[in-house]
Amino acid sequence: MDTQAQTIDTEKNLMAAYVRDEDPGAFHELFKILGPRVHRFFLRKFGDESVADDMNQITFMKMHRARKDYRIGEPVRPWLFTIAARVRIDELRRRRRHREFADDRELNRAASKAVMDRAHEPDSLERADVAEKVRSALNSLPESQRKVVWMHRYEKLTFKEIAGRIDATEGAVKLRAFRAYGQLRRKLSPLLARDGTREAAA
C-alpha cells in the first residue's frame, strides 16, 4: 500500500473513531493532518493569515457539528473540503454585503456606538460598571480583532497605519474592525439602549 493510500485509510479510521466517540484524541489527530491543508485553502483565496485562521476554525467547528452526517468508510477530505468551500462562499457573500468592508466614516460611527470611550473613564460606580462590561466584551473578541480595535479606537491609528503595523492589507484590517464592532454592539446592546433612553429624556 502506498503512502497516499495509507494516509487516506488513517483519515477514514480516525473519522470513524471520532464519529463513534471511540477515541477522544481522534479529532486532534484529524486536525493535525488536515488543518494545515484547509488553512492553505483559505490562505490562497484571501491572502491573510488571520482570516485563514478564522475560516479554518469555523470549518472544523462545522465539521464537528456535522460529524454524524459523515458516511463511515468514505474518504474524509472531499467531505471536509465541501464544508470548507461553503465557509468560503459565506465569507465572500459577507464581504460583498459589507461593500468591501465599509468606509472609514461608517466604521468610526460603529466604533462610537460601541460606547468604548467609557472603558477607561470609571469616574463613578456606574461608570466603573460600564467600564468592566466594555472590557469584558473587548476581551471576548478574537485576538486579531481585539488588536485592531485597540489600535483604531485607543491609539487613534488609521486602518492604513494598522495594516502596516500588523503586516496585513487595509481591506483585511477593515473587515476585522467591522466584525469586531458588530460583536461589541451586540454584546453591549443593553448599555446602548440605556444611553439612548437617557439622551431622549435629556
- Domain that includes residue 72, residue range: 3-97
The residues, any chain, with a CB within 8 Å of residue 50's CB and separated by 6 or more, are 144, 168, 172, 176
Residues 25 and 89 in one domain: yes
Q: Look up residue 120 and give its DSSP letter.
A: G
For residue 60, what pLDDT is reported?
92
Q: What's the pLDDT tens digit per position in 33-74?
A: 999 999 999 988 888 888 888 889 899 999 998 998 999 999
Task: Output the domain CATH number for residue 76.
Answer: 1.10.1740.10
Taking residues 80-109, report their average pLDDT: 72
Contact between 11 and 80 under an 8 Å Cβ cutoff? The reply is: no
Q: Look up residue 183 and give its DSSP letter.
A: H
- Domain end (from 97, 119, 148): 97
Q: Smallest Cα–Cα separation from 119: which of 111, 109, 131, 132?
A: 131
Distance CA 2, CA 25 (A): 25
Q: Is residue 159 exposed (0-12), middle (13-18) or buried (19+ Cβ within 10 Å)? A: buried
Residues 160 and 81 in one domain: no
Residues 51 and 124 in one domain: no
Q: Residue 25 pLDDT more than 50?
A: yes
pTM of the full predicted structure? Answer: 0.52
Residues 92 and 44 in one domain: yes
Q: Residue 154 pLDDT more than 70?
A: yes
3 state SS of 167: coil
